[in-house]
C-alpha cells in the first residue's frame, strides 16, 4: 500500500506542476489521503486479476454518478464515507454469529 500511496502522491503533484518531493507528498497526503479516494480495479488483459488501479481523489461524486458495473452505490463509497455503515453491518453479523453459536 505504501508504494501505491507514494505513486498516487507523485502523480497528483505532477499534475499540478508541483515538485513531488517528500515534504510536498506529506502535505498532500495529509490534505487528500488515499483513504478518501475512490479506488477501482481495471483489466487490460484477459486475466482474472486486476492489472490496473484507477484512483479518483474526489471519487465519491464520480461514484454517485457512475457506479462500477455490477456494483451498488453502497459498494462504491469510500471507506471514510461509508465507515459507520460498514461498522454497523459488521456488528450485526457478529451478533447473528453469536446467536447461532449459542443455539
Q: How many domains does the chain have?
A: 1
pLDDT tens readout for residues 91-102: 888 888 888 877
pLDDT tens readout for residues 43-81: 777 677 777 888 888 765 544 445 555 554 445 555 556
On the question of pLDDT at 11 being above 70, the answer is yes
User: Does residue 41 or residue 83 have the better pLDDT?
Assistant: 41
| Cα–Cα dist 102/96, whole Å | 10
Residue 10's pLDDT band, with cuts at 50, 70 and 90, is very high
Q: Could you identify the residue written with the cell 505513486? A: 7
On the question of pLDDT at 82 being above 80, the answer is no
- Could you please report the per-residue DSSP string of the chain? -HHHHHHHHHHHHHHTT----HHHHHHHHHHS-GGGSEEEEE-SSSSSS--EEEEETTHHHHHHHSPPTT--HHHHS-HHHHHHHHHHHHHHHHHHHHHHHH-
Q: Which domain holds residue 37?
A: 2-102
**Percent of residues, the chain, with pLDDT higher than 70:** 73
pTM over cut 0.85: no
Amino acid at each position: 500500500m505504501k508504494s501505491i500511496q507514494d505513486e498516487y502522491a507523485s502523480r497528483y503533484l505532477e499534475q499540478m506542476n508541483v515538485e513531488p518531493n517528500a515534504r510536498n507528498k506529506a502535505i498532500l497526503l495529509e490534505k487528500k489521503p488515499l483513504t478518501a479516494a475512490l479506488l477501482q480495479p481495471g483489466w487490460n488483459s484477459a486475466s482474472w486479476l486486476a492489472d490496473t488501479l484507477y484512483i479518483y481523489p474526489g471519487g465519491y461524486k464520480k461514484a454517485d454518478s457512475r457506479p462500477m458495473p455490477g456494483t451498488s452505490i453502497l459498494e462504491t463509497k469510500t471507506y471514510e464515507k461509508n465507515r459507520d455503515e460498514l461498522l454497523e453491518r459488521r456488528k450485526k453479523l457478529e451478533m447473528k454469529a453469536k446467536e447461532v453459536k449459542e443455539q
